[in-house]
């Protein structure tokens, strides 16, 4: 089994900081996408929890798409919210993204190292790539 790494040239974090990890890794049909925040070009996009959640998911799914995986291949999501009051609104976005075929998930409330409301990561699986 080999491991393929996507984005090892380093993404860009806040303030132009070069990030020291892969955007995603793939092994035996599994794709693990690193946690994504609502950033564009290394800067947090301000907005409501709904807007920030949509962008965080879009960032994850863009990376998955670049690796050949789609939303239908997502089997697990980890979500971190910075305020428990965001839970209901986040769930609405989750339903919007995944429809009637949601993946498994864990959602917690924690501080984030980036000044935003949400961070998500996704895990995908495709048997034809195992």
Domain count, the chain: 1
**pLDDT grade, residue 122 (50/70/90)?**
very high
What H or E segment, with its residue span, contains residue 72?
Answer: none
Count how many Cα atoms sit within 13 Å of the Cα of residue 80 in the half-sphere of its side chain: 15
Note the pLDDT of residue 125.
98
* For residue 10, pLDDT beyond 90: no
Residue 90: CATH number of its domain: 3.30.1330.40
Question: pLDDT digits over 96-121, tens only?
Answer: 999 999 999 999 999 999 999 999 99
**Residue range(s) defining the domain that contains residue 101:** 4-12+19-129
pTM, 2 dp: 0.94
Residues 6+ apart with CB under 8 A from 37: 44, 52, 56, 59, 112, 114, 116, 118, 119
């Amino acid at each position: 089994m080999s491991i393929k790494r996507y984005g090892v040239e380093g993404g860009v974090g806040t303030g132009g900081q070069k990030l020291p990890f892969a955007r995603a890794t793939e092994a035996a049909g599994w794709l693990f996408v690193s946690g994504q925040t609502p950033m564009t070009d290394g800067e947090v996009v301000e907005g409501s929890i709904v807007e920030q959640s949509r962008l965080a998911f879009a960032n994850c799914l863009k990376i998955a798409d670049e690796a050949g995986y789609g939303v239908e291949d997502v089997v697990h999501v980890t979500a971190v919210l910075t305020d428990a009051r965001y839970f209901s609104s986040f769930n609405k976005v989750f339903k919007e993204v995944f429809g009637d075929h949601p993946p498994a998930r864990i959602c917690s409330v924690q501080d984030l190292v980036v000044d935003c409301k949400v961070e998500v990561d996704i895990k995908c699986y495709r048997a034809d790539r195992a």
